[in-house]
A and B are shown apart, each in its own frame.
Chain A
Amino acid sequence: LAKTTQPISMDSYEGQEVNITCSHNNIATNDYITWYQQFPSQGPRFIIQGYKTKVTNEVASLFIPADRKSSTLSLPRVSLSDTAVYYCLVGESSGSARQLTFGSGTQLTVLP
């Protein structure tokens, strides 16, 4: 499974855009990139998943360069409730169940 590297922590202020970058130099051809959010004492929650270029949904955008060796999760106009740990995962997404390997994640703290 591809290893990922993320910043341990980030601080931001309410209303700002936050970009969290994840490095995954050993990403394989069949690997997808998925981001999860976790609040204390809760299970992780799916945010977004992508394979290449850009993916956008109602809560975030995911930017993936052509070489796919990194990806950036973009959270527009964060609020205090976005304070959480964000995990970047890479792995094959074949439609069948697969185990996930979590890295250390990024603790995002949104300040008032």
Chain B
Amino acid sequence: GEDVEQSLFLSVREGDSSVINCTYTDSSSTYLYWYKQEPGAGLQLLTYIFSNMDMKQDQRLTVLLNKKDKHLSLRIADTQTGDSAIYFCAERSGYGNNRLAFGKGNQVVVIP
């Protein structure tokens, strides 16, 4: 089955870059996603990457995918206080049922 691992906590100064890492186990994953959860709110889809890509850039966000090592990262450039949240990576199984397996989340705290 799918298993997604994330580290727990990251503190970063405003204006710096932050990098959040994630490893997954299901080699059949077709899409990998990054979601953001602000306190008391639902999950907001930030970006996703298809498994045949190794990089995707979307404004301040850069997603890197190392399929060989099953490693996914999210880089946030010029981190803002509004980026303080919990970030979840998720993988979609390749088996057609659109099941998402989520990591445990990584809390990012931006220090002004």
- A and B bind: no
